[in-house]
Amino acid sequence: MAISEMAKKQLVEFIMLQVFDDQYIDRQEEKRILEEGIKKGISVDEGLAIIREVAYSKDFVIERDIEERTKEFLEQFIINDGNINKKAFETALILFRSTSKNKIPEPEIKKLVKTIILDNCWKVKEGGLFGSKWFSEI
Tell me the C-alpha distance between 24 and 59, whole Å: 9
* More confidently predicted of 75 and 80: 75
Tell me the chain's radius of gyration from C-alpha atoms: 18
pLDDT at res. 129: 61
Residues 63 and 26 sit within 8 Å (Cβ to Cβ): yes
Q: What is the pLDDT of residue 101?
A: 86
The domain spans of the chain are 5-59, 63-119
Amino acid in the structure at residue 84? I
- Sign (positive or negative) of CA dihedral 86, 87, 90, 91: negative
How far apart are the C-alpha atoms of 10 and 13, rounded to whole Å? 5
Structure confidence by residue, pLDDT tens digits, 21-73: 889 999 999 999 999 999 999 999 999 999 999 999 999 999 999 999 999 99
pLDDT at 131 over 90: no
Return d(Cα 48, Cα 65) in angstroms, integer: 11
